[in-house]
């Protein structure tokens, strides 16, 4: 139980939920439901159709907490990726709105740190029914979107093992019955140009096609004063082709091909809180160096970059079999997919103008998968009840991931060794000092020291090689059984098994090794040579689900759902000594109670739920003063409330949408957690009972929209108020990573045709120019200083959209 103020918070949350439920409620709503009219010209909310249970159904009939966002809403707010819509979704957080590779997504406070590629993502990503098992896919091919469904809580029954915190289920547009086309052009200040276009339809009675493309060019906001470039400059272009074949009335084949290329300067971090010794040392390389993380200014000496390419091929077969025995509407779906992702990156590891260390990472990923499922209905189950809907299927998955990591010693590393920072790392005590002796030696001859040591050291690096093969299979089943016209029970279960085989090695390479002298970088990382091959682990899991749903009337229902999730263990991809390579699987169990309702003649849709989730063996990254180790925290617990609504007000031109998330996520037991570096290298602390990172206490949004006729055209104006509460942004809960609650305001106005075929829009985000840090991490070489990632500043955009 929660005590003291937390008890009052929890009680207040329940009271708020119950109070809203008196009016109405639900956890699955569309933040972008649009107005429609019936035959009497009465305004109504459109039905939101989702595929959260592997069949198309109204979101109001799904007994889980979800939010659906339409592609039209994404285009309206100028979103170029999922990170741009996260602020509108309760209890969802992206750790970066600019990083094209290291996407960390947290739902209800839980997610996986992408800095270690051994981790599977806790938040699953599915696009066009294909499950992608690498977090880098979150930034791939996010265009021509029809709908995004965010499913909160474990979704292991229908979506698989690595969906322990939730799922982003994305659907893109396909060929339409009639030929149609749409085009959207965005121009943003600071400089960003994006173009998105799609065209397609049925060419004949049996063949249809849709072609879509996206091109983004972003100059970025983070200025590198040392290299005189933008460190977050970003370019991406992607294309998608969908071919639809209808050989008969009840069989369809959809073939899809997607390709994407991304090129970016890398990475978007700034130094923060430089102490006097670190500042004096770095001023030898850049006299203007400073530790202000809020000024969009960096100072790297390395031309960091990231190049990323992905190619995906998918085939979906849909066979409407029809009645079979006692079954009605039997349908078969087969989804085959093959995808490949390549990332080549180089970053300035010390994030400073000194040439201390360069990190190079090259990774290749290949994945093949197949899902076969059957859906159907029956009048009853063994003569009991008033109807049954079911889904049953099998899933196979095979992947291969290889990564080569190289950490190279820079020419200035010898000069760095004559600093208090180096002394602190070697001693393990961040409060030790040479009393100015090392600093005096350094400042007196830093150029000479760098030249001499650079020539002496020569090529010196530590290399990590990692290869992981995954082979997994699963069978699953779920049914919705209507015991009466009002009471529905939904049991589900998934059995999965998986085998992982890995090779992991680390090796120091240097000129001085031949003389029996340890390599500089290997010593600096406290690393050792190792070569572990044929590492293997086999796991199996049973993920059950049980939901009870009761309809108070046709438009309102309440539900209670229990679900269990599972994320497999694995092998550390970034071990520096070959010890403790293995980490254990993660498990979660959640129970949530919610309401779904539509009121006032379908002009108000109001949704709410309360939940509690318990995690065991939480997989975490721990910073050891030099790099990140993989560990399992004992347990964690998350409690909260989620609510969103859409209201067509009695004042006909005005509609209002909004959301609210309350989150209390804590470590239940974590006695040997990493302590902030200020307490010493490899220091430990007890985080039991403490709040976990990336878990804002509150999140909220409200968007009033006014639609008015103007000179025969339609004018539409919206304002967004977005709020995110207090939170930590580093796993060791360092006070310097604490982020106070903040709010941001966005707005937009558009003018277009009444049939919405074209529109011209002007808008902006973060109009009040709030300066916010999205993430704060310890630096590798400067104990007590930090790397910070700043959220995007104010942006103004103009856009032109056209649909035919």
pLDDT at 683 > cutoff 80? yes
List the single range of 66-80, 159-173, 211-225, 415-429 with lowest mean pLDDT: 415-429
Mean pLDDT calculated for residue range 610-636:
80
Phi first, then psi, for residue 648 (nearest 5°) are -90, 100
- C-alpha–C-alpha distance, residues 732 and 623, integer Å: 8
- C-alpha–C-alpha distance, residues 781 and 787, integer Å: 11
Tracing tokens 């994404």 back to the chain, one arrives at 74
Predicted TM-score of the model (pTM):
0.91
pLDDT of residue 526: 83
pLDDT at 648 > cutoff 80? yes
- pLDDT tens, 497-525? 999 999 999 999 998 766 667 888 998 88
* CA atoms 598, 599, 604, 610: torsion sign: negative
Say what percent of the chain tops pLDDT 90: 70
According to DSSP, the residues that pair with 571 across neighbouring strands are 582
pLDDT band at residue 440 under the 50/70/90 scheme: low
- C-alpha–C-alpha distance, residues 139 and 142, integer Å: 7
* CA atoms 422, 270, 232, 115: torsion sign: positive
- C-alpha–C-alpha distance, residues 667 and 564, integer Å: 19
According to DSSP, the residues that pair with 558 across neighbouring strands are 550, 595
- C-alpha–C-alpha distance, residues 704 and 376, integer Å: 41
Second-level CATH architecture of 4-803: Beta Barrel (2.40)
How many angstroms separate the first and last alpha carbons of the chain? Answer: 57
pLDDT of residue 172: 97
pLDDT at 40 > cutoff 70? no
**Please, are residues 632 and 597 in contact by the beta-carbon 8 Å criterion?**
no
pLDDT of residue 439: 57
Token couple for 343: 């990332």
461 prior amide bond cis, ω within 30: no
User: Number of helices (H) and strands (E), helices first, in the chain?
Assistant: 8, 46
Closest CA to 624 of 690, 686, 680: 680
pLDDT at 6 > cutoff 50? no
Query: Residues with Cβ < 8 Å from 9, sequence gap 6 or more?
Result: 2, 662, 664
Measure the CA dihedral 418/419/420/425, to 10°: -80
* CA atoms 226, 227, 229, 234: torsion sign: negative
Provide the phi-psi class of 784: left if phi over 0, else alpha when psi is between -120 and 50, else beta: left
List the single range of 159-163, 221-225, 400-404 with lowest mean pLDDT: 159-163
**Please, are residues 607 and 641 in contact by the beta-carbon 8 Å criterion?**
no
pLDDT at 677 > cutoff 70? yes
In what helix (H) or strand (E) does residue 312 lie, and over which residues does it extend? strand 305-324
Phi first, then psi, for residue 427 (nearest 5°) are -80, -20
Closest CA to 24 of 611, 657, 606, 660: 606
- pLDDT tens, 650-675? 999 999 999 999 999 999 999 988 88
List the single range of 441-455, 610-624, 635-649 with lowest mean pLDDT: 441-455
- C-alpha–C-alpha distance, residues 520 and 559, integer Å: 60
3-state secondary structure of 371: strand
C-alpha 190 chain-centroid distance = 24
**Please, are residues 636 and 666 in contact by the beta-carbon 8 Å criterion?**
yes
Provide the phi-psi class of 53: left if phi over 0, else alpha when psi is between -120 and 50, else beta: alpha
Query: Residues with Cβ < 8 Å from 800, sequence gap 6 or more?
Result: 183, 184, 185, 758, 759, 760, 761
pLDDT of residue 450: 59
Q: How many residues does the chain have?
A: 804
List the single range of 92-106, 259-273, 556-570 with lowest mean pLDDT: 92-106
pLDDT at 443 > cutoff 70? no
- C-alpha–C-alpha distance, residues 583 and 535, integer Å: 12
**Please, are residues 86 and 150 in contact by the beta-carbon 8 Å criterion?**
no
- C-alpha–C-alpha distance, residues 244 and 203, integer Å: 10
- C-alpha–C-alpha distance, residues 791 and 444, integer Å: 39
- C-alpha–C-alpha distance, residues 677 and 628, integer Å: 13
SS (H, E, C) 222-269: CEECCCCEECCCEEEEEEEEEEEEEEECCEEEEEEEEEEEEEEECCCC
Burial of 4 (0-12, 13-18, 19+ CB in 10 A): exposed
pLDDT at 125 > cutoff 50? yes
Exposure letters 508-520 (e unless 16+ CB within 10 A, then b): bbbeeeeeeeebb
pLDDT at 4 > cutoff 50? no
Token couple for 362: 């090259």
Provide the phi-psi class of 159: left if phi over 0, else alpha when psi is between -120 and 50, else beta: alpha
Closest CA to 71 of 209, 192, 212, 166: 212
pLDDT of residue 503: 97
- pLDDT tens, 321-361? 999 988 999 999 999 999 999 999 999 999 999 999 999 99
Closest CA to 763 of 744, 752, 748: 748
Phi first, then psi, for residue 711 (nearest 5°) are 55, 45
Say what percent of the chain tops pLDDT 70: 91
Q: Any idea what DSSP says for residue 601?
A: T
- C-alpha–C-alpha distance, residues 760 and 773, integer Å: 33
**Across the chain, what does the average pLDDT equal?**
89
In what helix (H) or strand (E) does residue 128 lie, and over which residues does it extend? none
According to DSSP, the residues that pair with 250 across neighbouring strands are none
- C-alpha–C-alpha distance, residues 385 and 170, integer Å: 34
In what helix (H) or strand (E) does residue 8 lie, and over which residues does it extend? helix 4-23
pLDDT at 216 > cutoff 90? yes
- C-alpha–C-alpha distance, residues 82 and 147, integer Å: 11
Alpha helices in 486-540, H assignment, sequence order: 520-524
- pLDDT tens, 376-421? 999 998 888 889 999 999 999 999 999 999 999 998 888 898 888 8
pLDDT at 442 > cutoff 70? no
* CA atoms 730, 731, 734, 740: torsion sign: positive
Q: In whole angstroms, how far apart are CA 315 and each of 282, 540, 648?
A: 55, 28, 40
Phi first, then psi, for residue 670 (nearest 5°) are -155, 70
pLDDT of residue 514: 62
Mean pLDDT calculated for residue range 198-205:
96
Tracing tokens 């760095």 back to the chain, one arrives at 416
Q: Angle, nearest 10°, between helix axes 437-457 and 420-427?
A: 80
- C-alpha–C-alpha distance, residues 23 and 440, integer Å: 71
Between CA 66 and CA 259, with CA 795 as vertex, the angle to 5 degrees is 60
Token couple for 796: 């103004």
- C-alpha–C-alpha distance, residues 303 and 300, integer Å: 8
Token couple for 97: 């709105």
Closest CA to 126 of 360, 526, 395, 343: 395
**Please, are residues 716 and 707 in contact by the beta-carbon 8 Å criterion?**
yes
List the single range of 219-228, 620-629, 679-688 with lowest mean pLDDT: 620-629
In what helix (H) or strand (E) does residue 426 lie, and over which residues does it extend? helix 420-427
**Please, are residues 699 and 94 in contact by the beta-carbon 8 Å criterion?**
no
Neighbours of 2 (CB within 10 A): 14
pLDDT of residue 27: 38
Mean pLDDT calculated for residue range 521-532:
90
Mean pLDDT calculated for residue range 145-156:
95
């Amino acid at each position: 139980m929660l005590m003291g103020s937390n008890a009052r918070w929890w009680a207040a949350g329940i009271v708020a939920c119950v109070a809203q439920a008196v009016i109405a409620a639900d956890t699955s709503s569309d933040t972008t439901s649009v107005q429609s009219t019936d035959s009497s010209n009465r305004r109504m909310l459109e039905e939101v159709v989702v595929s959260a249970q592997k069949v198309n159904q109204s979101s109001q009939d799904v007994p889980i907490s979800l939010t659906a966002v339409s592609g039209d809403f994404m285009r309206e707010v100028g979103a170029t990726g999922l990170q741009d819509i996260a602020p509108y979704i309760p209890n969802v957080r992206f750790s970066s709105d600019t990083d094209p590779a290291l996407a960390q997504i947290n739902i209800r406070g839980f997610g996986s740190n992408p800095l270690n590629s051994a981790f599977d993502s806790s938040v699953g990503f599915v696009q066009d029914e294909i499950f992608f098992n690498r977090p880098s896919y979150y930034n791939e091919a996010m265009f021509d979107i029809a709908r995004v469904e965010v499913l909160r809580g474990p979704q292991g029954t229908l979506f698989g093992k690595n969906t322990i915190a939730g799922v982003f289920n994305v659907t893109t547009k396909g060929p339409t019955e009639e030929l149609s086309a749409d085009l959207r052009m965005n121009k943003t200040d600071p400089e960003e140009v994006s173009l998105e276009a799609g065209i397609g339809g049925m060419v004949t009675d049996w063949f249809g096609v849709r072609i879509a493309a996206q091109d983004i060019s972003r100059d970025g906001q983070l200025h590198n004063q040392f290299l005189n470039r933008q460190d977050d400059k970003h370019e991406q272009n992607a294309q998608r082709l969908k071919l639809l074949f209808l050989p008969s009335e009840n069989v369809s084949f959809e073939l899809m091909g997607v390709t994407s290329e991304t090129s970016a300067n890398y990475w978007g971090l700034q130094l923060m809180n430089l102490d006097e010794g670190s500042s004096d040392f770095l001023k030898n390389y850049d006299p203007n160096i400073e530790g202000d993380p809020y000024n969009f200014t960096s100072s790297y000496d390395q031309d960091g970059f990231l190049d990323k390419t992905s190619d995906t091929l998918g085939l979906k077969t849909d066979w409407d079999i029809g009645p079979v025995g006692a079954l009605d509407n039997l349908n078969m779906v087969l989804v085959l997919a093959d995808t490949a992702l390549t990332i080549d990156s180089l970053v300035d590891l010390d994030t400073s103008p000194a040439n201390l260390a360069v990190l190079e990472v090259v990774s290749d990923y290949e994945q093949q998968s197949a899902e076969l499922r059957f859906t159907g209905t029956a009048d009853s189950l063994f003569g009991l009840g008033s109807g049954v809907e079911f889904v049953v299927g099998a899933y196979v998955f095979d992947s291969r991931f290889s990564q080569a990591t190289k950490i190279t010693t820079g020419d200035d590393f010898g000069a760095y060794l004559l600093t208090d920072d180096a002394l602190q790392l070697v001693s393990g005590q961040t409060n030790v000092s040479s009393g100015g002796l090392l600093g005096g030696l350094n400042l007196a001859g830093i150029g000479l020291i760098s030249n001499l040591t650079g020539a002496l050291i020569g090529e010196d690096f530590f290399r990590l090689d990692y290869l992981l093969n995954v082979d997994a299979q699963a069978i699953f089943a779920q049914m919705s059984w209507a015991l009466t016209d009002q009471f529905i029970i939904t049991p589900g279960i998934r059995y999965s098994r998986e085998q992982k085989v890995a090779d992991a090695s680390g090796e120091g390479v240097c000129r001085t090794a031949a003389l029996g002298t340890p390599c500089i970088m290997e010593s600096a990382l406290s690393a050792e040579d190792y070569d572990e091959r044929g590492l293997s682990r086999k796991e199996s899991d049973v993920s059950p689900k049980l939901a009870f749903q009761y309809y108070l009337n046709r438009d309102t229902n309440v539900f209670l759902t229990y679900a269990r999730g599972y994320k497999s263990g694995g092998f550390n991809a970034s071990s520096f000594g070959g010890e403790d390579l293995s980490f254990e699987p993660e498990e979660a169990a959640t129970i949530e109670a919610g309401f779904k309702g539509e009121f006032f003649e379908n002009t108000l849709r109001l949704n709410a739920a309360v939940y509690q989730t318990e995690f065991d063996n939480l997989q975490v990254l721990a910073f050891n003063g030099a790099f990140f180790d993989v560990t399992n925290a004992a347990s964690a617990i998350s409690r909260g409330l989620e609510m969103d609504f859409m209201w067509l007000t009695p004042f006909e031109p005005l509609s209002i949408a909004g959301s609210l998330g309350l989150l209390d996520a804590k470590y239940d037991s974590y006695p040997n957690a990493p302590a902030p570096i200020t307490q010493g290298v490899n220091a430990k602390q007890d985080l039991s009972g403490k709040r976990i990172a990336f878990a804002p206490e509150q999140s909220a949004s409200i968007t009033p929209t006014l639609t008015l006729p103007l000179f025969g055209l339609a004018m539409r104006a919206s304002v967004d108020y977005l709020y995110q509460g207090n939170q930590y942004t580093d796993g060791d809960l360092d006070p310097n990573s604490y982020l106070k609650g903040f709010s941001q305001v966005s707005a937009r106005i558009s003018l277009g045709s009444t049939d919405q075929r074209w529109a011209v829009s002007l808008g902006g985000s973060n109009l009040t120019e709030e300066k916010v840090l999205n993430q704060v991490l310890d630096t590798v070489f400067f104990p007590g200083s930090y790397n910070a990632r700043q959220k995007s500043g104010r942006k103004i955009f103009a856009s032109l959209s056209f649909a035919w």
